[in-house]
Amino acid sequence: MFPAFLATPHMEEGSGKTQRSKTSSPTPRLCKLATRKMFYCKICLSEYPHKKGQKLDKCSCIFCKECLGKYVSYLINSGQVLKLPCPDALCPRSGNMTKNEISLLVDSDMFEKYQRLLKQKEVAVDKTKTFCPMAGCEGICSGLPGLAQPTVCQECGYTFCFACKEHWHAAMTCDEYKKVISDSQSGTRFVDILRENGESGDIKECPLCQVLIMREAGCAQMMCGHCKHIFCWHCLKSLDTDIMLRHYDKGPCRNKLGHSRASLFLHRTQVVAGFAFFGLMVLVASPFLLLVSPCLLLSKCLFRNN
């Protein structure tokens, strides 16, 4: 009886240890599961649950939707629409965002602006593409640059010559066709009528989409109403990236902007002030984020352990 008495508490103690180990073992496992459900946003330096994040298809990097939406909007407003790179400068795959991801991160107006700017940039950098010359159509057509060839717009069905942007002329060269339509029964073309009635240089073609533009007044910095391309009226040079208007400081267009030096100086001051304010906000916010981020991470870890 005595050995049995000693064996009984020994088994109970072992079973108690086994029971305690079973009850305490799931705790670290639950912590690991909770950790896997969170991700670290490298833009705002904070942790979020996966349901608040957006994972990029090209590189599998994940960021919070709010930060990623602001990043995409900034790139679109600055005209960087050909490629929207991953916000992580050290992204191992150097991924780019897709159109579907962009549409999910911005509103309809911003996405429409993105698509419009993307069309303009594609035509500007690719000489094998051009806008359809039909008024009101924003279709993009492809062809060989400088070669007279029939081009059919997939948007409106209009057939035109890729070289001169006139109606397709099968049996004539571009110069011959322009002469024929100028000497036609109707007298002269609508373009020539406008040019005769206006002063010299009042009507020009947009250098990007070849739509006719009539300038009545204003400065020499022009924006085409069809493709939104910004250019100099005098030499037709692109001004899309010249936000400081340095084009009018030298060269043949020097002092031909049409505004006084005071107004030009005010414009440049406003641009510089905008960049300076943005830089100041970044400098002020960066130390605050560096101080607050460890506190937030520590509080989350303490709360998770409790």
Active site residues: 219
Spatial distance between the Cα atoms of 185 and 237, rounded to a whole number of angstroms: 36
CA distance to 81, 211, 232, 249, per residue, from 245 (Å):
22, 24, 10, 8
Stated length of the chain: 306
Give SS3 for 83: coil
Non-local (6+) Cβ contacts of 107 within 8 A are none
Query: Using N-to-C axis directions, what is the helix angle for 108-125 and 65-77, rounded to 10°?
Result: 50
Single-letter amino acid code for the residue at 164: C
Handedness of CA 38, 40, 46, 50 (dihedral sign): negative
- Six-digit token string for 133: 């010359």
- Six-digit token string for 246: 């340095």
Give which of 75, 165, 82, 78 is closest to 122, Cα–Cα: 82
CA distance to 69, 257, 278, per residue, from 274 (Å):
21, 22, 6
Torsion of CA 214, 219, 224, 228, to 10 degrees: -170
Give which of 43, 26, 29, 34 is closest to 301, Cα–Cα: 34
Give which of 205, 192, 202, 201 is closest to 164, Cα–Cα: 205
- Do strands 62-64 and 53-55 pair parallel, antiparallel, or not at all (unpaired)? antiparallel
Give which of 212, 256, 214, 209 is closest to 232, Cα–Cα: 256
